[in-house]
Chains A and B, each alone.
Chain A
Amino acid sequence: MPTSVMPTSKPEGGQQPLAAVTALGLRKAYGDKTVLDGIDLRIPAGSVFALLGPNGAGKTTTVQILSTLISADGGQAQVAGHDIAASPDGVRAAIGVTGQFSAVDGLITGEENMLLMADLHHLPRRDGRRVAAELLARFDLTEAAKKPASTYSGGMKRRLDIAMTLVGSPRIIFLDEPTTGLDPRARHTMWAIIRALVSDGVTVLLTTQYLDEADELADRIAVLDGGRIVAEGTAEELKRLIPGGHVRLRFTDPAAYRGAATALRDVARHDETLVLQISSDGSQRELRAILDRLDAAGIEADELTVHTPDLDDVFFALTGGSAGGTARRHAPDPQDTPDPRNAPDPRDTPGQPKENVR
């Protein structure tokens, strides 16, 4: 049960925030391929929840189940207080969905797409026109409003897609990779829009492959891998789950490299690349200690970089298989990582094993 391990939901903590979405043991298989293997979620109303995971982790499948597009093979879920299986129309009335793939009608104009949504939400004609015009302006689409949506660029289509989702003022919004394919400026605009939604009290479930996006937007993050949630918590909590930062020293002279490896203790060696890695929190004191030792040995490194853990490390550490080779070097084996769902509080996680090089 995920609720029991969440630091924010300690029983003595009094009133729990109302959940907008809860899921318990969601399962889905296509043929004999298990895609979701027991997903538990609890998303407090008014918060942003990010599902983070590599390709094929099951993010889209989770969104599709919660938005009543497909049915789960097992488990149960409530969205806005409605059971997804028993009362799908209750769920549908409360949610807005922007799927991973464009859901606009390319044959008609952007404005017609918006008015179509207004009609389907049964808005009075005049309100529909007003809402459509407002949203088109907010998403910078007023100029293109009279052009067929098929002529839009990828980013414009994405914006139209999300504008259409907002027509009925849904209280819960699912965004499957909302910023994939957007340029940096459009991405930041999208983030601002998502923050504005949240300040209006809207609950957002978003999926993403961008760790900075989850870091930036989400109150809580669940890392999904191979159809299981392998970690859940705030960005800070997740970062604490994996080994701390390190200092990297790069050499061009093999002799200097070997000398440094002897002079410094607790180093991880990369003999092929002549790189040394020292566990460190990156503080001034620790850096000075390293530099003093090198000076004492009369060795000069060609490059020194300080690496603090970020969500990328979490991603590579927690999501198996597909993690790239370079990342493995400073990430522990996934099996070594304590399952955060069994840990009462990630802060209590005992000292992580030292980084090891393979």
Chain B
Amino acid sequence: MSSLSLAVRDASTMLRRNLLHARRYPSMTLNLLLTPVMLLLLFVYVFGDTMSAGIGTGGAGRSAYLAYLVPGILLLTIGGTTIGSAVSVSTDMTEGIIARFRTMAIHRGSVLIGHVVGSVLQCMASVVLVGAVGVAIGFRSSGATVVDWVLAAGLLTLVSLALTWIAVGMGLSSPTAEAASNNATPLIFLPLISSTFVPVHAMPGWFQPVAEYQPFTPAVETLRGLLLGTHIGHNGWLAVAWCVALTALGYFWSKARYDNPATR
């Protein structure tokens, strides 16, 4: 067997194992969906009118703010889901079966690739579920073409991939599940302080750089542009660049951690 087909075969075996875990213990996956859905409902139904007036969406109120909010919430969903990936990687590494895998003639990266693909699939499923809640309470994309939808899906996948690799690196560097969950907090914290809820220019001046120079803001602005037709500008490239950089960083970090388990 060629090394590529060996890699694909072993990685898909590992993916099946992870999906089996996720299917058998769905509560973890569902818990992670709770945060984005609660935030969505809270900000739309409790703070919606105020927020809308505050950021000047032209008095259209709650439904305008819903449209503003959903793209950021979708990215926050990805961040939250990958926290779960960090936890499950870290838990998995404490399992004795990993040592068994290391003594078997299988593709070395397959364990991690299985986790990554599983996590990306889980992110996409979460995005669809949270997106469905958004649509159910009235979110509509305004004038997005098929190309826009495809690009939006591509962006969401790319962000999922990037955050997953970072989460895997965090999971591999954390000795326990609790530590992994703590270490992965930025994955949900960064979208909270991005332009998800309010535009960067509406934030205090000293805080604007924090919101501006982080991966979520350009991704949120790009997704907003694709779904709602707002101006994307340089945010598109910035978002892609962030994703590529984070993927590469997470990949090499994870690989180094996996190859040297003693340094955990």
Contacts and interface: CB of A to CB of B under 8 A. Distances in A.
B264 interface: no
Contacts of A179: none
Interface in A274-319: none
A93 B13 contact: no
A69 B103 contact: yes
B17 A122 contact: no
Interface string B1-21: 100000001100100110011
B96 A99 contact: yes
A103 interface: yes
A105 B97 contact: yes
Contact of A106 (B10, B95, B101): B95
Given A99-B96, A116-B13, A108 B103 contact: no
B215 to A, nearest CB: 32
A31 B16 CA distance: 39
B24 interface: yes
A164 interface: yes
Contacts of A69: 99, 102-103
A92 interface: yes
Contacts of B25: 107
A104 B100 CA distance: 8
B260 to A, nearest CB: 10
A96 to B, nearest CB: 8
Given A120-B10, A122-B1, A122-B9, A104 B103 contact: no
A51 to B, nearest CB: 17
Grouping DSSP codes into helix (H, G, I), strand (E, B) and loop, the B interface class, with mixed when no group exceeds half, is: helix
Interface residues of A, number: 27
A92 B10 CA distance: 15
Interface string B99-128: 111111110000000000000000000000
A120 B97 contact: no
A73 to B, nearest CB: 13
B129 to A, nearest CB: 23
Contacts of A107: 20-21, 24-25
Query: Interface size for chain B: under 10, 10 to 19, 20 to 34, or 35 or more residues?
Result: 20 to 34
A68 B21 contact: no
Given A108-B20, A122-B1, A97 B13 contact: no
Interface string B221-264: 00000000000000000000000000000000000000000100
Main secondary structure of the interface of A (DSSP, over half): loop
A102 interface: yes
A99 B99 CA distance: 8
Contacts of A92: 103-105
Contacts of A223: none
Contacts of A99: 96, 99-100
Given A68-B102, A120-B10, A120-B104, A105 B17 contact: yes
B21 A108 contact: yes
B20 A120 contact: no
A92 B101 CA distance: 10
Interface string A100-119: 01111111100010001001
Given A107-B24, A108-B21, A89 B96 contact: no
A92 B99 CA distance: 12
A112 B104 contact: no
A121 B105 CA distance: 8
Contacts of A68: 102-103
Interface of B: 1, 9-10, 13, 16-17, 20-21, 24-25, 95-97, 99-106, 262
Interface of A: 67-70, 89, 92-93, 95, 97, 99, 101-108, 112, 116, 119-122, 148, 164, 168
Given A99-B100, A101-B96, A103-B99, 18 more contacts: A67-B103, A68-B102, A69-B99, A92-B104, A93-B105, A95-B103, A97-B103, A103-B96, A103-B100, A105-B95, A107-B24, A108-B21, A116-B17, A120-B13, A120-B101, A120-B104, A120-B106, A168-B104
